[in-house]
Chains A and B, each alone.
Chain A
């Protein structure tokens, strides 16, 4: 249950700015469906701009709820959420027609940093006339909301 300590006091690289645009942490008040007789998990939520790389343990624990939106905040149905590890390959899962998806990771995988990307296929493409590579693309500026299972 113990986690590795995070390194702090990393040497500065002299960068005036030190941020990744659009990644933030929300703490939402409302709880979703209750678990009668059980603790009610927090409804905190990460909202971040994909692609993003998360520290080991950031997705550890209960199943996560993902919601994919585009840069304008509109839901993106049937996107592919790719989780990619440096040394352990990738997992890819498709969101539903509401852009939502639950993901559960085994503890060993969740214990390593993971990069999250969102792939989409533009609406109305004639796939029979195109290769996969031509027909799909990474969703630039994708908004990825990650919440805990209600």
Chain B
């Protein structure tokens, strides 16, 4: 991920909160945590978050009382003409370092996370200047302090035209005193748990307490994994950070880091389900030997067998799951074997539940050729109808939906790419029939086969079809051309039982010219969609490619910023937006790195400012409270000019 992209993503929390979503984390749940003072400290794993070089300079920093910078209330910044986007040259970057109480921290070394120049030392009120500034992430560089929220420059939120009060610093850092944090993760019997995932980060509430500006910073999250003895250690912890501990099949534990730290913290992770709630079984091979590390799934999260081939699956379907979705066919997978199938045993079933892995996975092999019989290299050949399996843990505590074939092939994909001669081999297949699709990603030309029995060789897929020019224009609701829109041709994968979601297989892309025009040469067109994104339009994806030779006309809606403002906290207000005909319009919560789209938006009572985007065609906001509608607010929207909607 590029630095620019990374920074975009980091803005998310900031805008989420600025958008009136001033929500905070849960209170700690620390019942499962016990101290074991007499336990020796075991060898420990170290946290992985990079810390900037530490400064040994004196004197030590100290927090001082300060007048809060930035007069904006929690929720949204105010207007300014100052260029804080980082787009123009700057002589110096103004920043401030705050502690968890919102006080400036003086005499603290600060600098870039990569250790390079420039660096600075904070004044008594926590302010500092970096001269000359350069793009990057800014941390405190002091052995006694931990950076909880890092400064970002250039700031993507500001680059997205959110303006700040003129007094607001360019970057705001949140720091706290470093404390020791180490210990062990154990099960309910005190046995060490290896591979538990531990993270620490400042809670969102603490970020908010730092003031409006701190939300423009990056919350630093540090992670580690418990070692074979259950040991762990964080080198950069601070009191009040939130510690989260998770492991497979265990209840998650969250607790605050003690103010003074703890070098011998014992964390007990209890089973997520009791024995009565689990169906236990065993996976063996054809010779009756246990198969370790096999995956077993009834359609949702896969269990993994231990060294004796044992596993357990939850008996109950989660609430809200339709019974028909809970067909309890169980699959067991292990590389090198065909899957074992079994019905889910009833609670009254006697005897041991055993799944037997026998036989080797099948393959399908062949060649992709063009209309003249020449082999085509780099063509994606995929299963159209892979076999659903479930969610597989791919790294500690991380799940991925996966098809059985993708797992057995060991690639995570139910697809391969043809070699220089156009040859392909799909591995990891079950003993059944499959349909294949060949797709040239350069042109999006595709072809499909009939059902083929697994094990077939010499399959010949002919990829031919007319490649043509596709040209068109991106226009707004008034028919005016819209430039700068990224126009991509894409193919959406077919309904595939094995895929959690359809994939968008994106082909060539272009940016629309200032008059909205675009052009592709030598591409397929059948069954394709347009995928459109732009900074000034509402997100629009999967617009069908129109048949015929007429230029494509892709209508988009320009995006308008709406600022919700009130002078003081009040009631929750629900807002909906409608066009001139009274038709409801979506509300967009635009973030760096993504967007949210909803039918309405709750302007929470405790916030006084929020930012939204709506289509240009919105003419009214319908405002209601819990008691019902209270008024209609006319809108006067124009792209590029935020509209302030006062809701006092």
Contact = CB atoms under 8 A, between A and B. Distances in A.
Nearest to B490: A62
Contact of A148 (B19, B203, B397, B502): B502
A68 B23 CA distance: 16
Name, among A88, A91, A113, A149, the residue most crowded by chain B CB atoms within 10 Å (CB to CB): A91
A49 B417 CA distance: 35
A79 to B, nearest CB: 9
Given A6-B411, A148-B502, A106 B205 contact: no
B388 interface: yes
Given A106-B594, A128-B606, A119 B24 contact: yes
A113 B395 CA distance: 10
A104 B271 CA distance: 34
Q: Is the interface of A mostly helix, strand, loop or mixed?
A: loop
Given A18-B303, A55-B400, A95-B598, A106 B194 contact: no
Given A91-B9, A101-B598, A12 B306 contact: yes
26 contacts: A1-B380, A10-B304, A13-B248, A16-B311, A16-B312, A18-B312, A19-B249, A19-B314, A20-B301, A20-B393, A26-B321, A26-B325, A41-B495, A47-B321, A62-B541, A78-B602, A85-B9, A89-B9, A92-B21, A100-B598, A102-B597, A133-B203, A135-B606, A136-B24, A137-B26, A137-B27
Contacts of B417: 2
A24 B318 contact: yes
B425 interface: no
A147 B495 CA distance: 13
Nearest to A38: B544
Query: Which of B1, B394, B605 has the most chain A CB within a 10 Å cutoff?
Result: B394
B373 interface: no
B1 A112 contact: yes
Task: With a 10 A CB-CB cut-off, give which of B299, B399, B501, B586 has the most chain A CB atoms.
Answer: B501
A129 to B, nearest CB: 10
Nearest to B526: A37
B208 A132 contact: yes
Contact of A92 (B16, B397, B606): B16
B390 A103 contact: no
Contacts of A52: 399
B397 A53 contact: yes
Contacts of B302: 18-19
Interface in B525-577: 527-529, 539, 541-542, 544-547, 569, 574
Contacts of A106: 5, 8-9, 593-594
Contacts of A101: 596-598
Contacts of B503: 60-61
Contacts of B280: 16
Given A89-B10, A102-B597, A40 B301 contact: no
B92 interface: no
- Interface size band for B: 35 or more
A18 B598 contact: no
B598 A15 contact: no
Interface in A84-122: 84-98, 100-106, 108-109, 111-113, 119, 121
A6 B392 contact: yes
A29 to B, nearest CB: 9
Interface string A56-80: 1110111110000101110001101
Name the interface size band of chain A: 35 or more
Contact of A143 (B16, B318, B492): B318
Interface of A: 1-28, 31, 35-44, 46-49, 51-58, 60-64, 69, 71-73, 77-78, 80-98, 100-106, 108-109, 111-113, 119, 121, 127-128, 131-133, 135-138, 140, 143, 145, 147-149
Interface in B8-28: 8-13, 16-17, 19-27
Interface of B: 1-2, 5-6, 8-13, 16-17, 19-27, 74, 193-195, 197, 199, 203, 205, 208, 218-219, 221, 223, 246, 248-249, 252, 271-273, 278, 280, 292-293, 299-307, 310-314, 317-322, 325, 335, 380, 388, 390-395, 397-402, 406-407, 410-413, 417, 441, 491-497, 499-506, 527-529, 539, 541-542, 544-547, 569, 574, 586-587, 589, 591, 593-602, 604-606
Given A7-B394, A24-B318, A143-B318, A15 B306 contact: yes
Contacts of B413: 2-3, 5
B132 to A, nearest CB: 26
Given A62-B541, A84-B221, A86-B221, 18 more contacts: A16-B306, A24-B301, A24-B318, A27-B388, A39-B527, A41-B502, A42-B496, A53-B397, A58-B500, A61-B501, A89-B218, A91-B13, A94-B596, A96-B587, A97-B602, A100-B598, A128-B606, A132-B23
Contact of A12 (B24, B304, B493, B586): B304
Nearest to A74: B320
Contact of A8 (B9, B312, B335): B335
A14 B293 CA distance: 9
Nearest to B201: A84
A28 B325 CA distance: 8
A145 B300 CA distance: 13
A55 B394 contact: yes
Nearest to A95: B598
B609 to A, nearest CB: 14
A20 B310 contact: no
A38 B594 contact: no
Contacts of B604: 121, 127
Contact of B248 (A15, A85, A133, A140): A15
- Of the candidates B193, B546, B589, the one having the most CB atoms from chain A within 10 angstroms of its own CB is B589
Contacts of B594: 83, 91, 103-106, 109
B390 A25 contact: yes
A14 to B, nearest CB: 6
B196 to A, nearest CB: 9
A23 B399 contact: yes
B13 A90 contact: yes
Contact of B399 (A20, A108, A119): A20
Contacts of B545: 37-38
Contact of B249 (A11, A20, A31, A61): A20
A9 B11 CA distance: 37
B391 A17 contact: no
A88 B26 contact: no
A80 B398 CA distance: 21
A138 B199 CA distance: 17
A3 B541 contact: no
A81 B13 CA distance: 11
Count chain A CB atoms within 10 A of each CB in B310, B500, B529, B597 and give the residue with the most.
B500
A105 B12 CA distance: 11
A12 B292 contact: yes
Contact of A5 (B410, B496, B500): B410
B248 A143 contact: no
B392 to A, nearest CB: 7
A19 B23 contact: no
Return the 8 tightest CB-CB contacts between A and B, nearest first.
Answer: A24-B300, A93-B596, A92-B16, A55-B400, A91-B12, A6-B412, A138-B26, A89-B10
A37 B546 contact: yes
